[in-house]
Amino acid sequence: MVEIENLIKKLREIVPLNVIERFLSGIQKAIEKKGDLSLAYHEVSKLDFNYYGIDLPYSRPSQFWKEYRGECIELPKPPEKSGVDVFEAIKARRSRREYTTKSLTLEQVSAILYYTIGVTGRAWWGGPKRAYPSAGGLQPVEAYLYADRVEGLERGLYHYHPGRHCLEVVKLGDYSRELMRASLDQEHVGEAPVVLVLTAVYSRTASKYGLRSYRYIHWDSGFAGQNVYLVVEALGLATVTVGAFYDDEVCRVIEIDCLEELPMLIFPIGYRK
């Protein structure tokens, strides 16, 4: 059992009193709304004329993506055109939960990753511009690809390196069942030839936006998520967003620290049935 008095004492050592007061007033509002505690965060992360959030002790990120040591498997160059009009793709996009057993190709994987979070240009100061817009240009979203059946790729879990457009091996092996279990046993996750997991590295955004960052990382991820739907549509494949998952289980399977990097969205991807 957490000792509330002790907790508040510790909190006061690192968080300014006015922020704690806002949070407590948020809890009070949450009580009025029958205990919906998410409102307390909403209150404390609201901006107004007198309040711009607080600077958390995060330093500016030195890079915009994670890097694993070791081999990075080169992906084919992504296609320049899909032949599908963007208006048509937006209209035709649907959440599709049934896939054939057919394997995906490396070309398809390359297109999905590149048009979801790939580096599509350069900023005036030389830094990367990405396929998804990002609050403050801080680019917190990371992509992990579980390849169950991809031609030319050993079954296993990979991390996408956007700077080099290649796949870093996290671990080889069959993780279909574990990902399905982590997604509340949703069968489409267990059956798909590919499962894409989007996460967000919290400190990248928090280095600038403090308390408001928990909002921003979800907005950023949502934009990347819509990219997944549209590129999958343009390739004639099928996907669905999965937001119902056990966070700690997802973190365990993809081997990330859930306090540093937060699982955002999961996308099983395959051929349409």
Ligand X SMILES: Cc1cc2nc3c(=O)[nH]c(=O)nc-3n(C[C@H](O)[C@H](O)[C@H](O)COP(=O)(O)O)c2cc1C
- Binding residues for ligand X, per CB under 6 A? 94-95, 97, 186, 240-244
- Tell me the closest approach of the beta carbon of residue 233 to ligand X, in angstroms: 11
**Token reading at 72:** 């990075």
Closer residue to ligand X (CB): 201 or 264: 264
Which amino acid is located at 187 in the chain? E
- Tell me the closest approach of the beta carbon of residue 269 to ligand X, in angstroms: 13
Closer residue to ligand X (CB): 205 or 239: 239
- How long a stretch of residues is the chain? 273
Cα angle value 113/119/121 (rounded, 5°): 145
Distance CA 252, CA 162 (A): 23
Cα-based distances in Å from 179 to 18, 129, 160, 218, 264: 41, 31, 18, 21, 14
- Tell me the closest approach of the beta carbon of residue 244 to ligand X, in angstroms: 3
- Per-residue buried b or exposed e for 125-140, using 16+ beta carbons within 10 Å of the residue's own CB: eeebebbbebbeebbb
Nearest residue to ligand X, scored by beta-carbon proximity: 243
- Tell me the closest approach of the beta carbon of residue 219 to ligand X, in angstroms: 12
- Tell me the closest approach of the beta carbon of residue 97 to ligand X, in angstroms: 6
- Tell me the closest approach of the beta carbon of residue 240 to ligand X, in angstroms: 5
Closer residue to ligand X (CB): 147 or 240: 240
For the four alpha carbons of 255, 261, 263 and 266, in that order, the dihedral sign comes to: negative
Q: Please identify which residue in the block is written with the tokens 């599509």.
A: 120
Closer residue to ligand X (CB): 153 or 180: 180
For the four alpha carbons of 111, 114, 116 and 121, in that order, the dihedral sign comes to: negative
Closer residue to ligand X (CB): 119 or 141: 141
Closer residue to ligand X (CB): 96 or 161: 96
**Token reading at 96:** 């599709």
